[in-house]
Amino acid sequence: MTSSAKKIARLAEKSKTRSPRGVRLRGGSLFPTVIIVVLALGAALIAYARQSLEQRTASDITNATYYLSFGVYACDQWVTLPDTPVLTDLAELQEGAALVSGKPGVVEWQPQVLSGQRRAKLSAVLDLYSIEVSGTELSFPSSINGGATLTEGDDACDGKGGTLSVATWDTLGTDSSKKTSIAELGSVRLANDGLAVALVFAPDDVDVEQPPSATEVALLVESGE
């Protein structure tokens, strides 16, 4: 056997007998320790973030005041609305909803309060005006639109016909297109800040735009009042 072959043989023999225990122990203990520390820090950060988010959300909901624009379109024009509640024997003013003085058609409401009363619905707004709706009729108090009662039918709106519906626009949401409801109108849900709502009694071919007060509400929401 040559000297080179003997060296290779000795190195091979040493590699068999040398214990790698120290290397394995150092590498094996360090890596799991690092992983455990990283996982612990990650869990702590997630818990802190969740707690902060929950506290902010609860506070925001508790103190939030939302605005919506409301209008009533009868046949071919917007009905003039007051800026103070219409009090009648039938009025059921709900805590958490109010008209904004000096801004006709602007309603401020508190989502937490109305939701707690299970009344985060259009009925809370209609009550402010003492307006009543059924499946086929729209009735005004004497101080609004002459106290008229409009009934669906072909002879309504001077023979042009009239249908009762509610149109809503989620102006701050991802979809601001008009959505129309034709049943259980008082139960139309109030969802987001800046909502535009139109109570409509008109011929089917009439395309109603957002209430005139929508511009005023947009300014209120933008200013954060």
Q: What is the pLDDT of residue 139?
A: 97
DSSP 153: B
Nearest to 79 by CA among 148, 134, 135, 133: 148
Q: Which residues lie closer than 8 Å to 25 by C-beta, 6 or more apart?
A: none
DSSP letter string over 96-121? TEEEPTT-TTEEEE-HHHHHHTT--B
Q: Is the pTM of this model over 0.85?
A: no
What does the pLDDT average to over 28-53? 65
Query: What's the pLDDT tens digit per position in 142-162?
Result: 999 999 999 999 999 999 999
C-alpha angle 129-208-199 in degrees, rounded to nearest 5: 20
115/120 Cα distance (integer angstroms):
5
211/129 Cα distance (integer angstroms):
16
Domain boundaries, the chain: 3-60, 64-223
Q: Residue 23, SS3? A: helix
Q: How many CB atoms lie within 10 A of CB 57?
A: 10
Q: What proportion of the chain, given as a percentage, has pLDDT over 90?
A: 56
What does the pLDDT average to over 204-215? 95
Nearest to 69 by CA among 207, 210, 154, 196: 196
The more confidently predicted of residues 44 and 113 is 113
